[in-house]
Amino acid sequence: MRIWLGILLGVLLTGCDQTPTGRQQLALVPDTLMSQMGADAFEQMRQQGPIATGATINRRVECVAEALVAAARRRYPEAEMPDDWQVVVFDRSSPNAFALPGGRIGVHAGLLRVAESPSQLAAVIGHEIGHVLADHGNERMTQQLGIKAALLLVGLLGEGELAQEPLQRALGIGARLGIALPFSRTHEEEADLMGLMIMAEAGFDPAQSVALWRNMAAAGGDQPPEFLSTHPAHESRIELLQKHLPEAGDIRETAAPSACA
């Protein structure tokens, strides 16, 4: 027993890392496994569809996503980042987007009815890229599975024993009221700030992030009280973004204007 406890302690110590913003985190699941789980989840969603086929919407989303990925590499050069990214627009009416480990970005067509400009779309996709760069899925997986994640690393637990529901929650898919996770608010705020800097680096107008979340608030209707939600209330999110707009504005001043129309 002492031997295994020593091994687990070593795993915990070696799993301590920093996010691109300098926050300490514990992320124990191997990156290769996270990437594979992201690929599997993305492929499942692709099969479930439906996929949007309109050329205009696909070009718009791909242009914004490609600019943000390139900007993220420049802004956070020390962060581990997938070499290639897949972008898929799903023909779904909800104003949603997500990014998964391994470089998969999904955007619901309904988001384009709320994000009224490329800069507003960049605010959402940049936020999702921030989740990937900060390894939030790995951190959430570690929090949820606890000792299982450590046992997985030392070969005492098979990959098939990782439950599908915790996996989806860790990857940020379907997180809803009632399954809030520790630090999920921290993750959201960190992704907001990283996304803000990434969109500014890509030449998008960071002030449009505030406009985007005001649009989201208007489109969202009733929202659970902030303390019951895994996401910050719209006003709290807007307040945080406004506080950091001067810094993002300075970044944008030195960036080339976005070519996405």
Rounded Cα distance between 106 and 146, Å, is 28
128 catalytic, yes or no?
yes
Rounded Cα distance between 99 and 254, Å, is 27
- What is the DSSP code (8-state) at residue 257? P
Do the strands 104-108 and 86-90 form a parallel or antiparallel pair, or are they unpaired? parallel
**Distances from the Cα of 134 to the Cα of 19, 127, 129, 153, 205, angstroms:** 5, 11, 9, 20, 23
Could you say which of 43, 78, 128, 235 is catalytic? 128
Helical residues (DSSP H) of the chain, grouped into ranges: 2-14, 31-48, 55-75, 118-133, 136-145, 147-153, 164-170, 184-201, 208-220, 234-253
Rounded Cα distance between 56 and 42, Å, is 23
Which SS3 state, helix, strand or coil, does residue 3 take? helix
Residue whose tokens read 């569809």: 49
CB-CB contact of 114 with 59 (8 Å): no
**Cross-strand partners of 90:** 51, 108
- What is the DSSP code (8-state) at residue 158? -
Which SS3 state, helix, strand or coil, does residue 112 take? helix
Residues classed as catalytic: 128
